[in-house]
Amino acid sequence: MLIDEARIYVESGSGGNGAVHFRREKYVPRGGPDGGDGGAGGSVILRVSPTMNTLMAFRRKQHYRAESGGHGGGSNKTGKNGDDSIVLVPPGTVVYDEETGRTLGDLVDPDQELVVARGGKGGRGNARFATSRNQAPRMAEKGDAGEERWLKLELKMIADVGIIGLPNAGKSTLLSVVTNAKPKIAPYPFTTLHPNLGVAELDGEVSMVLADIPGLIEGAHQGAGLGHAFLRHIQRTRSLIHLIAGDSLDALADYAQINAELALFDERLSEKPQIVAINKVDLPDVRESKDILEGFFAEEGIEVMFISALAREGLRELLYAAWNALQSYEPDVEEVEILPLYEAEPDPTAFTIAREEDGAFRISGAGVERAARRTYWEYEEPVRRFQKLLLAIGVEDALREAGAEMGDTVRVAEYEFEWID
């Protein structure tokens, strides 16, 4: 069964804390600071596995966490870096941030990787803060917290040729006789409930991947029938075989209907080369009306082929026509564009001040919040360093302008302070 949508939770590891430590050893006077740095947290990385063709694995497991970095120690011991969490996905996986809906990446090539949650940086130990003027700093940094988010994964099957058409046009039968695929076949609409892939071999050196796209109906671009669930798979194909039932009451209308739905879903789909094939020519009525059908399509400038998937008539010519079509087509670069995961880093000096319901002042900003979380509040030097940062970027002046008075509560991230001017 093809599972082509999934949602997963990813959480990277936090960075380890830097250590405040001093060398104490016999016969070594004034050993000095030797607190080591914390290790970096592991990241969560999506990697394309060419052997996967479905998102079924994410039905069994949804949560993926990377290892946190180890804390620094004495004797300049650096904490261990956390191991990354590698999550395998099939080729053609598009990754979205569930909360914002933003596209994070489009994974197509084998072994291609995408970092979806970056590990936190490790904090520096007090050995890193020693200077000629401050030879015994009681100063270190805590590690950065890891990132967490819910992701939506959407699989767009990668195939050379997509077989499209109305329900019961014979798409599954065609796929089953020209490839090793075994789709469900029955004499009623919507027999195929998920796309099927198969490999067709034209000769010893030429082969191509075909995808049977479940039957589309009017309104498919708005979700009617199996609409949105499978139209996206056509975006990955390089050429199309448009199969039309020869015993249809209006074959030309069927052709127009499907192409209208493709264009309404994504106008680039209308640019893909199409091989139009009228199926079921083994039926006497269809065989007798071949010239009439061919004339109807010729009036619209459309060249058609006549085949019988069931009787295996005209299939080799159809496959070679599809092969020649995909050789002449160069896909739009946007179809396989690899989108950047992270936007530019926010200005670390930018901040805002807001008054909360209880009268407290809330300072918000990526830089100031990160600095607060990295501060060891139990040591005087890191606290003074944080205060200097607030002064340097203009937070103190902004608090005065906002009306802060002696004794007011000021909050940064999860920390709370008393304002002393």
The count of other CB atoms within 10 Å of the CB of residue 282 is 15
pLDDT at position 148 is 94
Check residue 230 and give its pLDDT: 57
Strand order in the sheet with 239-245: 196-201, 207-212, 161-164, 239-245, 274-279, 304-306
Choose among 308, 253, 252: nearest CA to 283: 308
Q: Are 3 and 153 in contact (CB under 8 A)?
A: no
What does the DSSP 8-state code read for residue 27?
Answer: T
What contacts 255, CB < 8 A, 6 or more positions away? Answer: 242, 244, 276, 297, 302
Question: Residue 263 has what pLDDT?
Answer: 79
Opening angle at CA 417, ends 416 and 421, nearest 5:
155
Query: What is the structure's pLDDT at 151?
Result: 95
Backbone angles phi, psi at 332, to 5 degrees: -60, 135
Per-block average pLDDT, block size 10, for the chain (421 residues)?
80 95 82 92 93 84 95 94 94 89 86 92 93 90 94 82 83 82 44 65 77 60 46 77 88 86 77 89 89 87 90 90 81 48 67 91 92 91 91 90 90 89 72
Question: Where would I find the H helices in 113-250?
Answer: 171-178, 227-234
Q: Determine the pLDDT at residue 216.
A: 61
What residues pair up with 197 in beta bridges, in sequence order? 211
- Which domains, and CATH codes, for the chain? 1-155 (2.70.210.12), 161-336 (3.40.50.300), 352-418 (3.30.300.350)
Task: Give residues with Cβ within 8 angstroms of 348, minimum separation 6.
Answer: 365, 366, 367, 370
